[in-house]
Amino acid sequence: MTENECDTVGILESVSPLSLKVNFLWSLLALLIYNGCQFGLIMLLTRLGNPHLVGTFVLAMAVCAPIQIISSQLTGILAVDVTFEFSFNNYLILALGGGLLLILGAALTAKFLNYSSEIMMIILVVAVSKAIENLSYIFLGLIQMYERMDLFAVSLTLKGTLSLAVFLLLFHSSQNLLLSLMGVTAMGLLILISFDVPCGCKVGRQARLKHHRVSLKDLVKLTQKTAPLSVSAVLISLNATVPRFFLEYYSGLKTLGYFGPIAYVLTFGDMAAAALGRAMAPRLARYWLVDRLTFRSFIKKILALLAAASVCASLVTLCFGAKILALLFRPDYAPFASALFWLTIAMGFGATSQFFAFVFTAMRQLNVLAVLSVVALLITTFLCYLLTPPFGLWGTAWAICLGLLFRLVGSYLVYLKIVSQKVP
C-alpha cells in the first residue's frame, strides 16, 4: 500500500478528532448495535433452525475464539502507538500472520477433536470470517488512534446489520448453515475492502503511512509487546469456551444448542462492564495517583451500582425467565429457565470482575489479571469436569457461576490488599 494510493481515496478531505464524550457515546452505540446483531443472528438460528444447528454454530465460535483473541490484541497496541514506534506495515503483516494462524489452528483443533467433515467446514468458514474481522480491526485501529469513533461505529454497524441481513436471507431460503456463514464471510470481506481500508488510510493520514519500514527485529519486538495482553485475553476467552467443550462432549450438540443462546446473557454483562470501565479508566488512574480516598469511595459507588443491577437482573429472570426464553427463542427453551437464572447471577459476577480488570489497570497491577485468570480457568475446568457429566446443561451453568464467583472474590481480596498496602 503506497502513499499515492491512499491519497487517491476520496473519503474525507480533512479529519479532526472528536471529543472524549462524543467518542465514548459512539463507542457505546457501536457495541450495542454490533452485539445486538450478533444476538439477533443466534435468535434467527434458534427460530429458523434447530438446536443441533445452533450447537454447531456455538461450537465453531468456541473453537475459534481463543485463537482469534491472540491477533486481535494488535488493535489495542496500534491505537495507542502515537509515537509511531512501529510502522503500520508491521501491524498489517502480523495481522495477516495471525489470520493464517487462526485458520490453521482452528483446522488442527477440529481435526484433533475428531469432528465430522461438515462441522469442520463450518469451523473453517468461521475461522476465515474471524481472520477477515481481525484484519479489519487493524485499519479500525488507525481510526481509533485518531479519535474518530464515529467512523469506527459506522464500520461495526455495517458489519452487524448487513451480516445479519445476509444470514437471514440465505438461511431462510436454503436452511444451509454453511452457505449462510459463507455469505456472512463474503460480506465482511466486502466491508473491509470498501470501507475499512479506505477510511483507515484517510483517517490515519500520511504521517502513519509514510513509514514503510518492516524488519524482523520490529516484528519480533511488536510480537513481544502484544504477548502479555494476548495471554490474559486468551485465558479469559478460554474461561468462557471450555464449558462449551465439556457440554458438547458429554451431552451432545443438541444440548449445546440450547445452552449457547441462553449463555449469551454473559456477553451483555461484559459489554456493560467494558463500556463503564473504558469511560471511567482515565478518572480512576488520576484518582489513584493523586487522591486515594476519592478513589476508594468511587470504587465503592461503582460496586454498589453493579451489585444493584445484578440483583435486579437476577430477580427478573427468576420471575419471568421461562417467558423471556420463549419470547426470544422458542417455547422449547422455556424449561431451561433455571439455567438462565444461574447464568444471570454469573453475569453479575463476571461484569463486576471485569470492572476490576480496569481498576487493576488504573493501579498499574497488570500481573494480577493473568494470575486471577489462570486460577479461575483451572477452577472452572475442574468444576465442569465434576458437574457437567451428572447434571448436563445445569451443571455447566453452575460451574461457570462458581468460577466467576471465585474470580470476583479473588479480585476484591487482591484489591483490598493493594489499597491497604499503598497508603495515600
pLDDT string in tens for the chain (424-residue length): 444 434 433 333 445 677 767 777 787 788 788 888 988 998 899 989 888 889 999 888 888 877 666 656 677 677 666 667 777 888 888 888 888 888 998 899 888 888 889 899 999 999 999 999 988 888 887 777 777 778 888 999 999 999 999 999 999 999 999 999 999 999 999 999 999 988 887 776 544 444 557 778 878 888 777 776 677 777 777 888 899 989 999 999 899 999 989 988 888 887 777 767 665 665 677 778 788 888 888 889 889 989 999 999 999 999 999 999 999 888 999 999 999 999 999 999 999 988 888 788 777 776 777 788 888 889 999 999 999 999 999 999 999 999 999 999 999 999 998 888 755 4
Residue range 252-304, pLDDT digits in tens? 989 999 998 998 888 888 777 776 766 566 567 777 878 888 888 888 988 99
Instruction: Give the 3-state secondary structure of the chain.
Output: CCHHHHHCCCCCCCCCCCCHHHHHHHHHHHHHHHHHHHHHHHHHHHHHCCHHHHHHHHHHHHHHHHHHHHHHHHHHHHHCCCCCCCCHHHHHHHHHHHHHHHHHHHHHHHHHCCCCHHHHHHHHHHHHHHHHHHHHHHHHHHHHHCCCHHHHHHHHHHHHHHHHHHHHHHHHHHCCHHHHHHHHHHHHHHHHHHHHHHHHHHHHHHHHHCCCCCCHHHHHHHHHHHHHHHHHHHHHHHHHHHHHHHHHHHHCHHHHHHHHHHHCHHHHHHHHHHHHHHHHHHHHHHHHHHCHHHHHHHHHHHHHHHHHHHHHHHHHHHHHHHHHHHHHCCHHHHHHHHHHHHHHHHHHHHHHHHHHHHHHHHCCCHHHHHHHHHHHHHHHHHHHHHHHHHHHHHHHHHHHHHHHHHHHHHHHHHHHHHHHHCCC
Tell me the whole-structure pTM to 2 decimals. 0.75
